[in-house]
Structure 1
């Protein structure tokens, strides 16, 4: 920033009534700070005095009440390491941001509650005060008192595939233009600002519904009624055709350590984006018909970093003579190459997130709600009585685990966060048949998920340095190279990997390599089928990929005298089209084919092979030529390269998992999609086809399956029986039809079997993949499924009784037949 630009900005800030207090906030001498904000500022300064050496102390043999404190200390240690690394390497601004920012803000993207027990994975060290809320209830205070830490076994998180653990409450924008309300683009001039990072609220279904509601306080009579979105400005960014970032509350500006810009320059540079974010809140508060009080008024947080030096600010509005003045107060500073300061910054950001989730977002929702209500009583009747929702049994504890309050729900059928399985719900209509003995599943649904480790020149050193010991990193590098030397293919660029993921899960990744930076990729693929602990079918594509430059880094890390033994033979090259063709082959399989693969826990390797192809020459004579094709083959080798590769990828996946959430990292690629529509039910199936009479028994299949770590399973996963609907006919199901099928299996004295995926101990005798037999007579279940015939039949009979508590005459006759067939 030139001196002239700085002077102009300083002059414009005064003209727009923006005041920056660069003296650190003193609670004894607050300057125009609203009373309700003083408590928040005091919390920031209290967290800013936390000492790493005294944090999270737990006496010997005692269970920690706050298990996330250890994770906070580990995060702080990593932050110190990477900050020191950036300083040592004299990184530029982008280098500092790539190493530090995602480690600080990762919790903005993950859910706060465990999917299984709905208890807390982490809590803010000091939680936001309920007095800052504009709610008329004690709901938040009551829920804070009842929040307990999650104590689930972390090894069971691998089955949380349908819930990736991502929170949809917040979103962010990176270096996007911030508009000034009421000012055209041509008038902005030097006031055009692109803050490095802003965080705000995501346009979820709750917000979307509210913003489309009619604005009932409009005095434009005779004109069509406007929606709330027509009246209230909700974003500071220009419309780009996508979902806007709503009501931003956090702004970040970063500079490199040894650059010419000081913190004063950053304060001035970010003054207008902060003012614009405050003005959104202020204008909403002043909108005609908004009688809702917001304790303290508008509030925006500002973080500034200059290399390892960080500052935290808070901005608020102070009215004088009916006009808003925008104040920016300096609260905390510290250098994150120190453990104390790194931990302090992590705790401060956690507090800001807690405030945004429990106070700020519900406050905004309530204000929008009242704009669509004709009077305050209507709004309060609908939106401020949490007891209305607590009458719905399991709803209140479920919502406690999510990132919402009971009163913020606009429509009981709409939720902003990940779904949770109930004994009966509208998401899964088959849940009404669930009993303690068994559940019913639609076999058309299968989760296609991807777990990948992609090591490049840019992330290899980061990955290697994250190991606790150099010897561990060295052994990891050797394992990766050894695995790829046993089996791999060469891809032309990482565009192929992105295309594979797009095909498998629908996740589209932005292109990260330029044309001149294209590098060969060494990759190995494996596809695994299984049932998870909740009886959901999984087809998992796992791959390990290493770029050519990263391979050289790994070879150097092995410290071997003769690394030539790796890649002694040149691996075959494979085109993008050939890889996609092979991947698509799995996606085109029928429901029955995939179901059997999951039942038998089949694994497939994908590799290049010479395939004979019959062609004809110019004279019409047939010739057999060899063509190289990528083909899938059953992989039964539990010590082979496919198994070793999968083990390596899952090892890194587990290492970087956050609590029970999906891990994140520049070298991990993780995505999933639930497939159902358009899948053929069986081979050559066409819409409208019915099962031939000799296969009519395959309309529904009863499966018995145990999980080896049953004590750590989520609620609803302990049922050891599942009836899969394979003919797609789920609409007309009722207890009578389900009971009739269960009786049929009792009568035939046969059942299907599998082992569901949990934490599986490889030393157990009944652990095995690639089952060759999965249909058993009940006299064989003791040997193969570890349950006696009598116990199995009693469980099925108990399921039938649970589904028919009050008997009609038809059910009484059915019960008589069941009793006649039931033999211990």
Structure 2
């Protein structure tokens, strides 16, 4: 008996239900859908926000890395071209093959663009590979289930790094298997039948296309394609649950699916939920649009770019780490995988934390990581100042500052775990010797680890619960460093970093280093310090005014804790009795020396932290400390104009300042880092802020031809002269050629940028809601004046001052 198409689809739906596949055809709404992991919710939110971008409002600020990312500079041009080809296909009533020929190669071109290595000849990137209309087989039972041939699949290329790991012996057979099995014998990595060539590993994007005029619609595609999606998710799920895989993948498996019918496109995402101990495969509809419209075309291109970035920076490294856990019996050996010579897009330069020092951070890090914040890459829309954000600049409340702590503490119990993080014994030995050298050059002796717990509680508000120990608590030797800076998304950060080793762990480090004789001949007698005195010194630093901390952040100042041996003093208790007590003298001093041991110490701690951090998940290793608090309420705006609270004399009473900072390389930086200007509000009156008051301050900066400047802390090229901390200047006149050279900002570019921001923010006279009593102290600018600002050489001819704005 011959079955109709409808009978076939009904059978496919029943089979999908049997296999635990669920497709939600209603567009995803985070308020209505339950069970989606938080990490995936963040990605779905990014897709939906990209789906609200309009062509007219979209813009890109060019930067130093634009030549290495050709798709970004031409993104609007790509959207126009793709829309024209779609319109031609629609007009000519093309069939499915015609649509695919014209559209797919242009839409997915980023998968075939060499993205990072400008030193090499341009060519195809070896990160990804694709298959066209090849059968997809179930990983567990290739002979069973529907055999589907998706129109297009994208996955990972089998590079030398993958090949080396897959050919390694599987380390978790218990009892040992005879003959020994390889990793590729244990893990299924591909869905396509073996054709004798390099396989497509772990597919993450599936495309299905149908004829515009055909009878099959999106519902039919949602019935057909879930099987390949399920198979791709199952590959990731099975890897995650393979014996010996101890990696935590935030959110779990994720696969993207795109469906199109002529010019109409949809984007879906599939993930896994466990119910009653069994996996369920859920597919959500995220975005839909027509590529004959320019807004929808731009949105689809941006979504594809997002998927490429996710696959390169998150998905691929996670797969590599998981595979490596299967080839080693030690979990920490997996945290550093070898540089992959096939993949040019992973090449890059690391900020020179330790030039000329004993150990290079590249030995500790998986990939060259930026000093990027640990926050989610998605933009935080909860800040009410976000409504003033434009493509030219952002507005920030200067009262907000991150108090961040990063610490590495080595004890007798965790030493071996720390050393297992290194690829080879030589690197581990160099690390050990560096720790001994750093603590010998500068450190303080504390009574126990509990002092460090108290420091963290005061600095970042994180309280650690430590079990009671009956045995004697060893002393701890610690080196501290404090850094102030602006992060890529214009947030102020004050960061306390420390390297610590217990007394008994130091003895073990000396043994491992093989330099016992040399160390014993050297004098090691660090000053002791009471915990109360140390915490008091850090608290005094935290109580600096808003203005002082902002200036410290702009200058990227670094500080060290200096200690003197305790002295005996007389103190009177509550009963009036006099006692002798020991008092430590702790002072916080600026540490400007580029060869300071604090520079190398901070680099090592950050490198270890970055190696063990996966995505936005903080490391859980017992030897790392990481916590952050946003300090905001109760911070003094200034403290009697003490030294350090004052801005330049003529700006003593300003309540807003405009700051410029370029980001030389934003490859690894979060969304929202592209704006090169920030207006900081110094008086705390953000509730009264409106577009007109923002524009008036921008006009003030334009009229005075003055700007504050900094370098946001991010990955920069080794040859950059502006990366260093403790910068002397933070306020600049654009009339000076030295200023323009130092900021790498011409006067014309400054005027053009700020003028464009003014037009985007206000562009007209104040509304009726503006407080009339404050108008005499505000700027008045008409639309004509705003336009003239961009072309006039004499600002005074187009601006009328009714009073100096505060």
Q: Is the 8 A contact 1:76 1:342 kept in 2?
A: no
Matched, 1:793 2:751: yes
Of 268, 273, 290 in structure 2, the residue corresponding to residue 360 of structure 1 is 273
Distance in 2 between residues matched to 1:595 and 1:578, nearest whole Å: 26
Q: Is the 8 A contact 1:535 1:756 kept in 2?
A: yes
1:812–1:692 distance in 2 versus 1, CA, 3 Å: same
Of 815, 818, 822 in structure 1, the residue corresponding to residue 786 of structure 2 is 815
Residues 324-363 of structure 1 aligned to structure 2 (within 5 Å): 346=245, 353-354=252-253, 358-360=271-273
Distance in 2 between residues matched to 1:601 and 1:532, nearest whole Å: 10
Q: Is the 8 A contact 2:375 2:616 kept in 1?
A: no
Of 450, 453, 456 in structure 2, the residue corresponding to residue 501 of structure 1 is 456
Distance in 1 between residues matched to 2:227 and 2:661, nearest whole Å: 39
Of 469, 473, 478 in structure 2, the residue corresponding to residue 514 of structure 1 is 469
Matched position secondary structure for 2:687: coil
Matched position secondary structure for 1:571: coil
Distance in 1 between residues matched to 2:727 and 2:600, nearest whole Å: 20
Residues 99-110 of structure 1 aligned to structure 2 (within 5 Å): none
Matched, 1:593 2:548: yes
Per-residue deviation, 1:349? 8.8
Matched position secondary structure for 2:560: strand
Deviations 1:598-629 (A, max 9, x none): 00000000121369999999xxxxxxx99631
Determine the structure 1 residue equivalent to 2:712.
756
1:747–1:562 distance in 2 versus 1, CA, 3 Å: same
Deviations 1:409-429 (A, max 9, x none): xxxxxxxx987655xx75122
Matched, 1:802 2:760: yes
Determine the structure 2 residue equivalent to 1:489.
444
Determine the structure 1 residue equivalent to 2:114.
none
Determine the structure 2 residue equivalent to 1:744.
700
Distance in 2 between residues matched to 1:703 and 1:352, nearest whole Å: 38
Matched, 1:635 2:591: yes
Q: Is the 8 A contact 1:492 1:520 kept in 2?
A: yes
1:534–1:823 distance in 2 versus 1, CA, 3 Å: farther
1:397–1:817 distance in 2 versus 1, CA, 3 Å: closer
Of 425, 431, 435 in structure 2, the residue corresponding to residue 470 of structure 1 is 425
1:418–1:584 distance in 2 versus 1, CA, 3 Å: closer
Per-residue deviation, 1:346? 3.2
Point out where structure 2 has 5 or more consecutive residues left out of the alignment: 1-13, 22-122, 130-154, 177-200, 207-218, 256-269, 278-282, 311-373, 573-580, 642-646, 767-779, 796-806
Determine the structure 1 residue equivalent to 2:496.
541
Q: Is the 8 A contact 2:408 2:498 kept in 1?
A: yes
Q: Is the 8 A contact 1:124 1:350 kept in 2?
A: no
Distance in 2 between residues matched to 1:632 and 1:78, nearest whole Å: 51
Matched, 1:777 2:733: yes
Matched, 1:434 2:389: yes
Residues 300-339 of structure 1 aligned to structure 2 (within 5 Å): none
Per-residue deviation, 1:766? 2.4
Residues 126-145 of structure 1 aligned to structure 2 (within 5 Å): none
1:614–1:761 distance in 2 versus 1, CA, 3 Å: farther
Determine the structure 1 residue equivalent to 2:399.
444
Q: Is the 8 A contact 1:492 1:521 kept in 2?
A: yes
Determine the structure 1 residue equivalent to 2:280.
none
1:538–1:139 distance in 2 versus 1, CA, 3 Å: farther
Matched position secondary structure for 2:552: helix
Per-residue deviation, 1:472? 0.9
Q: Is the 8 A contact 2:527 2:564 kept in 1?
A: no
Q: Is the 8 A contact 2:407 2:499 kept in 1?
A: yes
Per-residue deviation, 1:569? 3.1
Matched, 1:724 2:695: no
Q: Is the 8 A contact 1:124 1:347 kept in 2?
A: no
Matched position secondary structure for 1:605: strand
Per-residue deviation, 1:354? 3.8
Q: Is the 8 A contact 1:484 1:523 kept in 2?
A: yes
Per-residue deviation, 1:594? 0.8
Determine the structure 2 residue equivalent to 1:677.
633
Q: Is the 8 A contact 1:444 1:676 kept in 2?
A: yes
Q: Is the 8 A contact 1:124 1:354 kept in 2?
A: no
Q: Is the 8 A contact 1:607 1:630 kept in 2?
A: yes
Per-residue deviation, 1:590? 1.4
Matched, 1:557 2:512: yes
Per-residue deviation, 1:775? 0.8
Q: Is the 8 A contact 1:532 1:538 kept in 2?
A: yes
Q: Is the 8 A contact 1:747 1:821 kept in 2?
A: no
Q: Is the 8 A contact 1:793 1:822 kept in 2?
A: no
Of 468, 484, 497 in structure 2, the residue corresponding to residue 529 of structure 1 is 484
Determine the structure 2 residue equivalent to 1:255.
none
Per-residue deviation, 1:652? 1.3
Matched, 1:698 2:654: yes
1:559–1:77 distance in 2 versus 1, CA, 3 Å: farther
Deviations 1:141-174 (A, max 9, x none): 9999999x9xxxxxxxxxxxxxxxxxxxxxxxxx
Matched position secondary structure for 1:637: coil
1:708–1:514 distance in 2 versus 1, CA, 3 Å: same
1:650–1:72 distance in 2 versus 1, CA, 3 Å: farther
Matched position secondary structure for 2:710: strand
Deviations 1:192-240 (A, max 9, x none): xxxxxxxxxxxxxxxxxxxxxxxxxxxxxxxxxxxxxxxxxxxxxxxxx
1:518–1:68 distance in 2 versus 1, CA, 3 Å: farther
Residues 37-116 of structure 1 aligned to structure 2 (within 5 Å): 39=19, 62-64=126-128
1:138–1:680 distance in 2 versus 1, CA, 3 Å: farther
Per-residue deviation, 1:784? 2.2
Q: Is the 8 A contact 1:505 1:671 kept in 2?
A: yes
Per-residue deviation, 1:698? 2.1
1:745–1:543 distance in 2 versus 1, CA, 3 Å: same
Determine the structure 2 residue equivalent to 1:275.
none
1:341–1:426 distance in 2 versus 1, CA, 3 Å: closer
Distance in 1 between residues matched to 2:520 and 2:534, nearest whole Å: 27
Distance in 1 between residues matched to 2:375 and 2:528, nearest whole Å: 41
Distance in 2 between residues matched to 1:711 and 1:349, nearest whole Å: 25
Matched position secondary structure for 1:629: strand
Q: Is the 8 A contact 1:527 1:542 kept in 2?
A: yes
Per-residue deviation, 1:126? 9.2
Matched, 1:654 2:617: no
Q: Count matched residues.
A: 505
Q: Is the 8 A contact 1:73 1:343 kept in 2?
A: no
Distance in 2 between residues matched to 1:764 and 1:362, nearest whole Å: 53
Aligned-pair RMSD on alpha carbons?
Answer: 5.4
Matched, 1:767 2:723: yes
Compute the TM-score of the two structures, normalised by the length of structure 2: 0.53
Matched, 1:571 2:526: yes
1:352–1:663 distance in 2 versus 1, CA, 3 Å: closer
Distance in 1 between residues matched to 2:746 and 2:598, nearest whole Å: 35
Per-residue deviation, 1:72? 9.4
Instruction: Report which stretch shifted further, 523-532 or 752-761.
Output: 752-761
1:429–1:657 distance in 2 versus 1, CA, 3 Å: same
Matched position secondary structure for 2:661: strand
Of 413, 418, 425 in structure 2, the residue corresponding to residue 458 of structure 1 is 413
Q: Is the 8 A contact 1:519 1:548 kept in 2?
A: yes
Point out where structure 1 has 5 or more consecutive residues left out of the alignment: 1-33, 42-58, 89-122, 129-135, 150-313, 315-331, 333-339, 365-382, 403-416, 618-624, 686-690
Per-residue deviation, 1:63? 1.8
Per-residue deviation, 1:768? 2.2
Distance in 1 between residues matched to 2:405 and 2:554, nearest whole Å: 20
